[in-house]
Chain A
Amino acid sequence: MAMNSSRRPASLMALVGSLQLMGGTMAQAAPNTFNTALPVAQGQSIWREQLVLRERSDDGPMDREVSVQALGSVLGYGVTSKLAVFGMVPYFFNKDLDVTMPIRPMGRIERDNSGFGDLSLFGRYTLYKKDFTGSTFRVAPVFGLTAPTGDHNDSDRFGELPRPLQVGDGAWDGFGGVVTTYQSLQYQLDGQLLYRENGRHDGFARGDETRFDASLQYRIWPRSMKGVSGTPAFVYALLESNLVHRERDELGSGTDADSGGTQWLLAPGLQYVTRRWIVEGTVQLPVAEDPHGDAIEDDYIVRVGFRRNF
């Protein structure tokens, strides 16, 4: 039996309604799950790759399971010492949905997709900085947009894939916020407040998103800087927090009751930092979730990757 998006029940839309991967959080620099206000030198470039494995599920009768494997590629450039611009594009190796359909004889079905997602371009401007010997404090607004570069009308044997399962959403999105950083030789604190307004295309819009992120990085090696000269490699232990609220998705003239909600994630991790490379990994785990209706919830998100400056 063929199934297309126009005949798909609203509950199926909810299956994948919160299938979002990276938003503007893949960007650059210190924390692993969001941005930082640390500088990119004029004329300096930063290349970053981050592999993301995200698993989502619910305990409902449809036993929904969503799995995403993607690689986020970021290129950053320091236009001036205060203004840095970044481009980010995800490649989805797999966006997969397993669901038990209540309609016989479909039973359990699997739908998946792959390909390049939507390109995000954004800029960060250092509005305030106060440098001390061995530490710094900075505040930097961030503004950007996401262009509909990814395919948004892919199909499988059941017909056109649900919009959230497409690798692109077909709409222009905008986001803006502010990030602040305090960094010393021993530890680093980052905080970010970001709002993302998702555009509408072909009768569908992902719910707008507001997020508050915080991160603590603590240097665990070298344990002391006494007697250490030059530019040694650092190892940081990380603990990041992501509080995310998403509005309901817009469907036609209404909203999808089973989409969006609020979730709080904590992410322990490690970072190995040299003067040219950063190698890092975190696991984001849900601490509290308050989904709208039967919106699907995160099980975990693994992020591993590297950054290279040149």
Chain B
Amino acid sequence: MVKKLTLLLSALIFSMAVLAADNHYVLGVDGLACPFCAYGIEKRLNKIEGVTDVQVDVGESVVRVALQEGKTLTDERARQAVDEAGFTLRSYSQAEGETGDGNEQ
């Protein structure tokens, strides 16, 4: 009984630790081709609650977004932010090694 409780507690602690980790997403963005334009995407994504960091890679046409623990970025919300910046969301995925159901499009 004690062994079962210990295992259950360990699993619970592990799950909480995973949930507490920052969530990272990788967005493929079409139409992005200069540094000055990148700021608009940063600005729109930074308005999303829980976003802690936005890194734009102009050469790869991808944007990496980090959210604080417990916060998530949905495909729909990411698409809206990219649209508001004047660009087109090509792909959406949660970064490798993180929790969640990545949805490469």
A273 near B40 with CB under 8 A, answer no
B40 near A309 with CB under 8 A, answer yes
Which A residues lie within 8 Å of B71 (CB)?
Answer: none
A273 near B33 with CB under 8 A, answer no
> What size tier do the contact residues of chain A reach?
35 or more
With A41-B84, A135-B31: A231-B61 Cβ-Cβ less than 8 Å: no
B84 near A81 with CB under 8 A, answer yes
Binary per-residue interface labels of chain A (264-299) against chain B in the complex, 1 for a CB within 8 Å, 0 otherwise: 000000000111101000000000000000000000
Which B residues lie within 8 Å of A131 (CB)?
Answer: 30-31, 87-88
Quick check: which of A147-155, A167-175, A183-191 contacts chain B, the rest being far away? A183-191
Which A residues lie within 8 Å of B14 (CB)?
Answer: none
With A134-B32, A274-B35: A41-B59 Cβ-Cβ less than 8 Å: no
Which B residues lie within 8 Å of A41 (CB)?
Answer: 39-41, 43-44, 84-86
With A229-B57, A275-B38, A309-B39: A126-B86 Cβ-Cβ less than 8 Å: yes
Q: Of all chain A residues, which has the CB nearest B85?
A: A41
Question: Is A253 in the interface zone, CB < 8 Å from B?
Answer: no
Question: Is A94 in the interface zone, CB < 8 Å from B?
Answer: no
In angstroms, Cα B83 to Cα A80, docked, is 10
Count, chain B residues at interface, CB 8 A: 31
| B71 CB, min distance to chain A CBs, angstroms | 21
B40 near A39 with CB under 8 A, answer yes
Q: Of all chain B residues, which has the CB nearest A182?
A: B33
With A42-B44, A135-B31, A188-B34: A81-B56 Cβ-Cβ less than 8 Å: no
A135 near B39 with CB under 8 A, answer no
* Additional pairs, 9, CB under 8 Å, beyond known A81-B83, A131-B87, A136-B87: A41-B40, A42-B44, A44-B43, A80-B84, A133-B28, A133-B90, A135-B31, A136-B32, A273-B35
Residues of A whose CB lies within 8 Å of any CB of B are 30, 38-44, 78, 80-82, 126, 129, 131-136, 183-185, 188, 225, 228-234, 273-276, 278, 307, 309
Residues of B whose CB lies within 8 Å of any CB of A are 28, 30-44, 47, 55-61, 83-88, 90
Write 15 A-B pairs (CB below 8 A) sorted by A numbering. A39-B87, A41-B44, A42-B85, A43-B47, A44-B85, A81-B86, A129-B86, A133-B28, A133-B30, A136-B30, A136-B33, A185-B59, A273-B34, A275-B35, A309-B39
